[in-house]
Amino acid sequence: MENQLTKQDLFEVINKSNQELRQELKTELREVINKSNQELRQDFRQELRETIDKSNQELREVINSSNQKLREEIKISNQELRKEIKNSNQELRETIDGSLEVINISFSELEGRISGIEGKISGIEERISGVEERMATKADLAAMETRLVTKSYLDDKLSAFRGDLLETVRKEDTKLGALTNTLVVHKVLPIKEAGKILAMEPFAKSS
């Protein structure tokens, strides 16, 4: 039976068929995978573009809306700022006008005071002129110096006056002591009171 296949031949045929089949399956699978990947990439790119376009559109809308709100807020702020500046300028004008009025009044008062001061200065100048006329000359001062006393002369006179005054006070003190003793002797003045009198200054005596 030459035409009959042996097990080994059968195995070889099956293996070869399996290999060919595997190779065909691999090739087909690669083609399917590649095609699927291409389609998937294409779909993903398309979806990604659409998502990006949509996000960009939404972002533009948000930015435009924010810009519109910001413009409105800036417009309102500018209007309020202009109003405040206008009010401030008005208040500043009123303050300046009032200050100018006060300054004008102050200048008028100052001019009056200056005029009064000038009048007083004129009077003082006239008085000074009169004083200068009545002032002593150098000759008058020289004559006065000849009539003035010296310090030594005054010291001598004061020393003599002190001596005379001291002598007079001692005499009066002696008279007071004698009178006190007489009053005690005649029992008109108590001894205790007499002691107080004799103990008085300037020449105190012990009883």
Residue type, 176: L
Q: Where are the alpha helices (DSSP H) in the chain?
A: 7-134, 138-147, 151-185, 191-198
Q: What is the mean pLDDT of residues 132-153?
A: 68
109-143 burial, b at 16+ Cβ within 10 Å, e below that, comes to eeeeeeeeeeeeeeeeeeeeeeeeeeeeeeeeeee
pLDDT in tens, 86-98: 887 787 777 777 7
The per-residue pLDDT for 149 is 66
pLDDT surpasses 60 at 84: yes
Give the alpha-carbon dihedral of 73, 76, 78, 83, to 10 degrees.
-160
Write phi, then psi, for 191 (nearest 5 degrees).
-60, -35
* DSSP string over 128-146: HHHHHHHS--HHHHHHHHH
pTM exceeds cut of 0.95: no
Peptide bond just before 190 cis, omega within 30 deg: no
Residue-range domain boundaries for the chain: 149-207
- Is the pLDDT at 143 greater than 70? The verdict is no
The span from the CA of 118 to the CA of 120, in Å, is 5
